[in-house]
Amino acid sequence: MLIQAEPLKKLVSVILEKGGSSNDEAQVVADHLVRANLAGHDSHGVGMLPFYVKRIQDKLLFPNQTPELVNSDGSILMFDGKRGYGQAIGKMAMEQALEKCRETGLVLMTLRNSHHLGRIGTYGEQSIKAGMVSLHFVNVTDHFPLVAPFRGSDARFSTNPICLAMPGTKKQPPVLLDMATSRIALGKARVAINKNEALKDGLVIDHKGQPTNNPNVMAGYLYPEQKDNPPLGALTPLGKYKGYGLALFCELLGGMLSGGGTIQPENPRHNSIINNMFTLVIDPARMVDVPWMEHEIEAIITHAKASPPANPEEPVLMAGDPERINEKERSVHGISIDDTTWEQILEGGETLGLAREELLLLTE
Ligand code: NAD
């Protein structure tokens, strides 16, 4: 089905409120999720809602938390998210980091023990809006691993994302690199399984560490109740040992330096998602002349984009362009939600006591 962003946000916020969130929290989380769909990242959009509803029922996610400042030392701010909605906790922690950065020019902010932070680019966008540069390294715990280390044959890491954000200029939109350190997300394997399609080369390995195009090696993670799943395989890291190195640093910076912990097996795994984030916020105006900086940003991007495309139908883009293109298109034509996801969202609302007809009315 195709649905416009506003009614979708309304539906999601009503379900979140029924799950115990204040109206303010429901608005922030719903806005984050719908904006992820608008940006084209459906894996981090409203399709996460049924998972959140279950985690609330399992007492692994607690609505209405605020980030607790556990250490403030010079330019260092360390927060504990108390298993609250990451989208709300992350936004509040970033607000405090940005405010401090206006004074100090540089802030190191860590956030541990937050439930799923969602699309990490959202926090980069928050910095960009404040005119700041930011770097984010995130690990994932409380969840079974999905990604193999380079040369390994089983999953030891998660899809540990990194986000780097640079404000734009009057002529040039901001640069926002926001990516997992695995080649694909688990959601892409799920789509291939559901469509009975082979995966492209190099994206997954089987249980012996051998390359395969069969997405079903990931089925045991997604559909553990199915009896005929092949033995568990793993996703591969981005760029071989380079992506593996970056994933490891997400563990060391995001997991370890935040005090939250890494995905090593002594730490708990409740089949929930805890994100720990290491963030640097920098005020570029404290470092270089702003008109010069803006000229350099425009010049380097113009330089990159002037490269003649190898395929005339695919011009050179920069990080952040695909999301802007998606947002423009989806804001007009609506967000496409597959039937299974839509059904799961409605069922999530029903398990909280909302009537399906009431939910459907909100989408009209
Ligand atoms: P992706 O592969 O779609 O894109 C990654 C980045 O590459 C984006 O910044 C995009 O703008 C850029 N890009 C894409 N095509 C480009 C091109 N042709 N030229 C230049 N740049 C281009 O994203 P992904 O790695 O699948 O990650 C998807 C989302 O999942 C992200 O928002 C990430 O934060 C999120 N994520 C979150 C978690 C979590 O635990 N919270 C874990 C993993 C991923």
Predicted local confidence at residue 73, as pLDDT: 97
Q: Is 17 in the pocket of ligand 1 (CB under 6 A)?
A: no
340 falls in which pLDDT band (50, 70, 90)?
Answer: confident
Q: Which atom of ligand 1 is nearest to the CA of 180?
A: 25
Q: Is 120 in the pocket of ligand 1 (CB under 6 A)?
A: yes
1-64+334-364 — its CATH code?
Answer: 1.10.1530.10
Instruction: Output the six-digit token pair for 29.
Output: 């989380």
Residue owning tokens 């204040």: 22
How far is the centre of ligand 1, averaged over its atoms, from the C-alpha of 304 (Å)? 20
Q: Which atom of ligand 1 is nearest to the CA of 317?
A: 19
Tens of pLDDT along 176-211?
999 999 999 888 888 788 788 999 999 999 999 999
Q: Is 178 in the pocket of ligand 1 (CB under 6 A)?
A: yes
Q: Is the dihedral of CA 16, 18, 20, 22 positive or negative?
A: positive
Tens of pLDDT along 169-179?
999 999 999 99
Nearest CA to ligand 1 atom 28: 179
Say if residue 269's pLDDT is above 90: yes
| Mean pLDDT value across residues 70-74 | 98
> Residue 13: helix, strand or coil by DSSP?
helix
Q: Does the pTM of the predicted model rise above 0.85?
A: yes
Burial environment of residue 172 by CB neighbours within 10 A (0 to 12, 13 to 18, 19 or more): middle
E-state strands within 247-354: 274-282, 335-336
Between the CA of residue 87 and those of 41, 115, 224, 230, 342, what are the distances in Å? 15, 8, 28, 35, 21
Q: Is 175 in the pocket of ligand 1 (CB under 6 A)?
A: no
Mutate to test the pocket of ligand 1, among 178, 191, 305, 307 (most ligand atoms within 8 A of CB): 178
Tens of pLDDT along 208-247?
999 999 999 999 998 888 899 999 999 999 999 999 999 9
67-182+237-322 — its CATH code?
Answer: 3.30.1370.60
Q: What is the mean pLDDT of the chain?
A: 96
Residue/partner pairs of 320-323 with CB below 8 Å, 24 or more apart: 320/173, 320/174, 320/175, 320/176, 320/177, 321/173, 322/40, 323/39, 323/40, 323/41, 323/121, 323/176, 323/178
* Nearest residue to 84 via CA among 114, 108, 109, 59: 114
Tens of pLDDT along 271-299?
899 999 999 999 999 999 999 999 999 99
Predicted local confidence at residue 223, as pLDDT: 86
* Nearest residue to 138 via CA among 166, 159, 165: 159
How far is the centre of ligand 1, averaged over its atoms, from the C-alpha of 71 (Å)? 31
Say if residue 308's pLDDT is above 90: yes
Q: Is 282 in the pocket of ligand 1 (CB under 6 A)?
A: no
Q: Is 281 in the pocket of ligand 1 (CB under 6 A)?
A: no
> Residue 114: helix, strand or coil by DSSP?
strand
Nearest CA to ligand 1 atom 9: 177
Q: Which atom of ligand 1 is nearest to the CA of 273?
A: 40
Residue spans per domain, the chain: 1-64+334-364, 67-182+237-322
From CA 69, how far away is CA 202, in angstroms rounded? 42
